[in-house]
Amino acid sequence: MSSARNADGIAVPHAGIIVEVGSHDELLAPGGRNEKMWSAFALMKGKHS
């Protein structure tokens, strides 16, 4: 997932539909699906460190 930070654009799918499109920073807006996914990823990564 860390390679997504440097991508020009990211499409976030959910249930087979693109629900968000933007840069990594744009997609980290509070409440978005990508923000929730990154928060969960960071939490999991912290538990396994």
d(CA 47, CA 31): 23
Domain carrying residue 22: 2-47
The count of domains in the chain is 1
d(CA 1, CA 42): 11
Average pLDDT of span 2-25: 85
Average pLDDT of span 25-40: 79
3-state secondary structure of 45: helix
Give the pLDDT band (50/70/90) at residue 27: confident
pTM, whole model, 2 decimals? 0.57
Between 18 and 48, residue with greater pLDDT:
18
3-state secondary structure of 30: coil
